[in-house]
């Protein structure tokens, strides 16, 4: 195989963008640290934990929505875009967070939710009020269908029809998500300008960029054509996923909206636009844009969606690198507020292998707070369910509460998270907590810290070319090269010792086992069960 054809080269000129070297750490403020005993995390709590972020070594935080919201969907139902919800604090608290983070060299990005608002938003109240209101066309309105029912067959992701009747206008409005989350009409230029204003408000306050929520669904078919039924759907398919959403998701015109958003961002220097994109790996390349730039980093969830073994991971990574444009910067997400906790899927031993993989492969790592100490899915008793996804589409494990449970900082009842009653139960696994793992030099958390430190020390791990190697014998390995430096990473996906067939010699920089000093090594090497190592090849 000609290695050069599949390897992924870096354009030198833009290598200095901060978001290429930063580890991005997603924080759901509600679940991070409570300061006032109401059981919900807040900005003052985040401030108290800032030393932890420095200790860990991450380069940027992304905060899930902190804006004014009736909180029916974890804050993704925004009632006022330019205001902080009182349960998180005030705008003043927010400014303090920005300053404190910037003082220690950590960037901050916010969630931007351009697709929909809360039904409590004044724009929607006005749009609802009459068909002649100046904002009448700010949302997606349609007359009833021929039988007096919804205009077409479009489904909400959270169950049922995506159309809701409005008595005031005697029309339906469209909602991709909850009925209380009406979709904005991105064909309307005033709507675009309004969202641009929101972006400027936060950029002017010093934020370093945005994660664009639901960026692929901004435009819906204007002929309102029915979505076809998915021929592969079966009786285990969740009802909202019975259709192929060709007329609602990933419309070509949505790309134009992303380009518009990027244009606003680019009026400022050095800002990052990443975004939640839709569907399969083969579509991801389009979200970077070509003649007109779109997202710097379309979020790549492929590692989470892949089977967890050496061959599948190799295929997943190859498919991803093949799908993105030559000059595009990759990224790898290992967790998120919508995704099941990865440690529960692959187990604690392999979580160490994943840590090494994501911190040494070419691309920006995205870690969801908790992943770094192996947070598991927390069992949620029925009476404490918060996520409407769980109640509206029951029986498919779609609810996201188990990954949104507050962080366990210590083994106490409140977990060091709150002095009150936490909004969701904490993990019953009291021993798995941040304080305990900070003290244990061989914990997963210590491994993350070592790996993040290593990325800082070795520019090759950030900027180096990616060189695929052949997965063999349950060992997935790859190389990184920057000028004269060559680093190899070998990961044992098996729970048994495995031989890594590499001929050469070099310096071991790190092992996931964390009990061996760095030192000279010579291949082939016997890897311990679930062990990964990083070797700097002797030049
Ligand atoms: C995005 C968010 C998700 C939310 C949805 C509706 O997919 O990540 O948490 O439920 O948008 O806003
Ligand atoms: Mg609080």
How many other CB atoms are there within 10 angstroms of residue 282's CB atom? 11
Mean per-residue pLDDT, 190-205 = 98
What is the per-residue DSSP string for 409-442? -SSSTTTTT-SS--SSPPPS-TTS-HHHHHH-TT
DSSP letter at 501? -
Is residue 279 very low, low, confident or very high in pLDDT (cuts 50, 70, 90)? confident
Q: Give the model's pLDDT for residue 4.
A: 35
Residues 448-500 pLDDT 10s = 999 999 999 999 999 999 999 999 999 999 999 999 999 999 999 999 999 99
Residue the block writes with tokens 């200095």: 16
Residues in the chain: 539
User: Is the pLDDT assigned to residue 292 strictly greater than 80?
Assistant: yes
Q: 60-63 and 107-112 as β-strands: parallel, antiparallel, unpaired?
A: parallel
pLDDT tens, position by position, 103-136: 999 999 999 999 999 999 999 999 999 999 999 9
pLDDT of residue 298: 98
Q: What is the mean pLDDT of the chain?
A: 95
Write out the catalytic residue numbers: 213, 276
* Ligand sitting nearest the alpha carbon of 36: 2
Tens digit of pLDDT for each residue in 420-435? 999 999 999 999 999 9
- Residue 47: asked if its preceding bond is cis (omega within 30°), the reply is no
Nearest ligand 1 atom to alpha carbon 176: 6
Structure token pair of residue 470: 């052949």
Q: Which atom of ligand 1 is nearest to the CA of 73?
A: 10
Give pLDDT tens digits for 489-535: 999 999 999 999 999 999 999 999 998 777 899 999 999 999 999 99
253: its two tokens = 């015109």
Q: With cut-offs at 50, 70 and 90, classify the pLDDT of residue 12.
A: very low
pLDDT at 15: 44
Ligand 1 centre to CA of 103 (Å) is: 31
Query: Considering the entire predicted model, what is its pTM?
Result: 0.96
- Among the bound ligands, the one closest to the CA of 368: 1
Closest CA to 27 of 52, 1, 55, 2: 52
> For residues 484 and 502, is the Cβ–Cβ distance under 8 A?
no
Q: Report which protein residue has its CA nearest ligand 1's atom 4.
A: 76
- Looking at the CA of 35, name the nearest ligand: 2
Residue 39 Cα to ligand 2 midpoint, Å, equals 6
Q: What's 387's DSSP letter? A: -
* pLDDT of the residue at 16: 64
CA of 403 to the centre of ligand 1 (A): 14
Cα(141)–Cα(127) distance, integer angstroms? 9
Closest residue to atom 7 of ligand 1, CA basis: 214
The rounded Å distance from CA 76 to ligand 1 centre is 6
Q: How many CA atoms lie within 13 A of 317 on its CB side?
A: 27
One DSSP character per residue, 184-249 reads: B-TTSHHHHHHHHHHHHHHHHTT--EEEETTGGGS---TT-PPPPB-TT--TTS-GGGSB--TTTS
Name all residues whose Cβ lies below 6 A of ligand 1. 73-74, 76, 177, 213-214, 276, 337-338
Q: Please state the atom number of ligand 1 nearest to the C-alpha of residue 213.
A: 1
Reported as a single tens digit per residue, the pLDDT across 363-399 is 999 999 999 999 999 999 999 999 999 999 999 999 9
Of ligand 1's listed atoms, the one at least distance from the Cα of 389 is: 10
pLDDT tens digits along 321-367: 999 999 999 999 999 999 999 999 999 999 999 999 999 999 999 99
Distance 29 CA to ligand 2 centre (A): 9
């Amino acid at each position: 195989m000609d290695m050069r054809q599949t390897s992924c080269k870096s354009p030198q000129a833009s290598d200095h963008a901060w978001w290429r070297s930063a580890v991005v750490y997603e924080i759901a403020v509600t679940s991070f640290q409570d300061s006032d005993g109401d059981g919900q995390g807040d900005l003052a709590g985040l401030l108290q934990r800032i030393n932890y972020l420095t200790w860990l070594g991450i380069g940027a935080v992304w905060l899930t929505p902190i804006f004014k919201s009736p909180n029916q969907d974890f804050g993704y139902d925004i009632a006022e875009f330019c205001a902080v919800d009182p349960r998180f604090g005030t705008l003043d608290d927010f400014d303090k967070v920005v300053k404190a983070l910037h003082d220690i060299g950590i960037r901050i990005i916010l969630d931007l939710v351009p697709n929909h608002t809360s039904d409590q938003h004044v724009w929607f109240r006005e749009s609802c009020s009459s068909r002649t209101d100046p904002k009448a066309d700010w949302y997606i309105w349609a007359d009833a269908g021929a039988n007096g029912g919804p205009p077409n067959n479009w489904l909400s992701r959270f169950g049922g029809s995506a159309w809701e009747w409005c008595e005031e206008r005697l029309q339906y409005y469209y909602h991709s998500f909850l009925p209380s989350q009406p979709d904005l009409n991105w064909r309307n230029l005033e709507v675009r300008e309004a969202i641009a204003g929101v972006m400027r408000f936060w950029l002017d306050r010093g934020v370093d960029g945005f994660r664009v929520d639901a960026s692929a669904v901004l435009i819906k078919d204007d002929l309102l054509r029915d979505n076809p039924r998915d021929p592969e759907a079966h009786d285990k398919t969740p009802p909202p996923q019975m259709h192929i959403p060709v007329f609602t998701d990933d419309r070509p015109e949505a790309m134009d909206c992303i380009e518009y958003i990027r244009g606003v961002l680019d009026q400022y220097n050095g800002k990052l636009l990443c975004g939640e994109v839709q569907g399969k790996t083969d579509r991801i390349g389009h979200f970077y844009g070509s003649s007109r730039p779109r997202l710097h980093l379309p979020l790549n969830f492929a590692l989470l969606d892949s089977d967890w073994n050496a061959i599948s991971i190799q295929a997943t990574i190859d498919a991803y690198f093949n799908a993105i444009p030559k000059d595009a910067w990759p990224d790898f997400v290992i967790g998120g507020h919508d995704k099941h906790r990865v440690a529960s899927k692959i187990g604690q031993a392999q979580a160490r292998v994943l840590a090494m993989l994501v911190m040494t492969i070419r691309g920006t790592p995205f870690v969801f707070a908790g992943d770094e100490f192996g947070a598991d899915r927390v069992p949620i008793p029925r009476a404490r369910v918060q996520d409407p996804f769980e109640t509206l589409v029951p029986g498919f494990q779609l609810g996201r509460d188990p990954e949104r449970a507050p962080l366990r900082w210590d083994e106490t009842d409140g977990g060091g998270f709150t002095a009150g009653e936490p909004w969701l139960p904490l993990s019953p696994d009291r021993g798995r907590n941040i304080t305990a793992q900070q003290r244990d030099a061989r914990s997963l958390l210590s491994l993350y810290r070592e790996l993040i430190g290593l990325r800082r020390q070795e520019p090759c791990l950030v900027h180096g070319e990616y060189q695929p190697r052949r997965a063999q014998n349950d060992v997935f390995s790859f190389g990184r090269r920057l000028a004269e430096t060559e680093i190899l990473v070998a990961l044992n996906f098996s729970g048994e010792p495995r031989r890594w067939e590499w001929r050469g010699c070099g310096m071991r920089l790190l092992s996931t086992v964390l009990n061996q000093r760095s030192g000279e090594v010579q291949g082939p090497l016997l890897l311990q069960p679930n062990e990964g190592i990083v070797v700097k090849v002797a030049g």
